Copies of this chain bind each other. A is one copy, B any other.
Amino acid sequence: MLPIVDQVRHKIGLEKLQKMGPTAQTAIKKDLAGISPDMARYAIEATCGDIYSRPGLDPKYREMIAIAALTTLGFALPQLKIHVEAALEGGCTRSEIEEIIIQMSVYIGWPAAFNAMSAANEVFESRSS
């Protein structure tokens, strides 16, 4: 059994995760939990519960900076797609996401920005069909 306060963090984390859309939920609660339940628990409690739920920044802007960071990493395209979906769920427009990725080219060069734009487009297309 999880300790009391972790259950609070777990509950807050699950609520936050639900707002991020179905891809995030499948990735954490089904895929990752099926491989490493402890890692899934940290993702829910420490990432969604503690950090994403901090009050100091609007959830929409949290998704925008997530897209910036995941584009910058270069290799994190599965996570980028999760946060593009979460950004759209949270009120970002497709055009704003395109702007973020275009601006990233300044800091990280064109290859990572190209690959990110292509991954984001897969999310856009999957939602418009």
Binding site for B on A (CB under 8 A): 3-6, 8, 27, 31-32, 35-36, 38-39, 42-43, 46-47, 50-52, 54, 56-57, 61-62, 64-76, 78-79, 95-96, 98-115, 117-118, 121
Given known contacts A69-B68, A75-B112, A121 and B35 CB-to-CB distance under 8 angstroms: yes
Given known contacts A105-B42, A108-B69, A114 and B79 CB-to-CB distance under 8 angstroms: yes
Number of copies: 6
Q: What is the CA–CA distance of A47 and B108 in the complex, to the nearest angstrom?
A: 12
Which residues of B lie under 8 Å from residue A8 when comparing CB positions? 3
Whether A73 and B76, one on each chain, are in contact in the complex, defined by CB atoms closer than 8 angstroms, is no
Whether A73 and B72, one on each chain, are in contact in the complex, defined by CB atoms closer than 8 angstroms, is yes
- Interface pairs (16), CB distance under 8 Å: A3-B8, A5-B5, A35-B117, A36-B98, A46-B46, A57-B99, A57-B103, A65-B67, A66-B68, A69-B69, A73-B74, A73-B112, A75-B115, A79-B110, A79-B114, A107-B111
Which residues of B lie under 8 Å from residue A69 when comparing CB positions? 68-69, 71-72, 104, 107-108
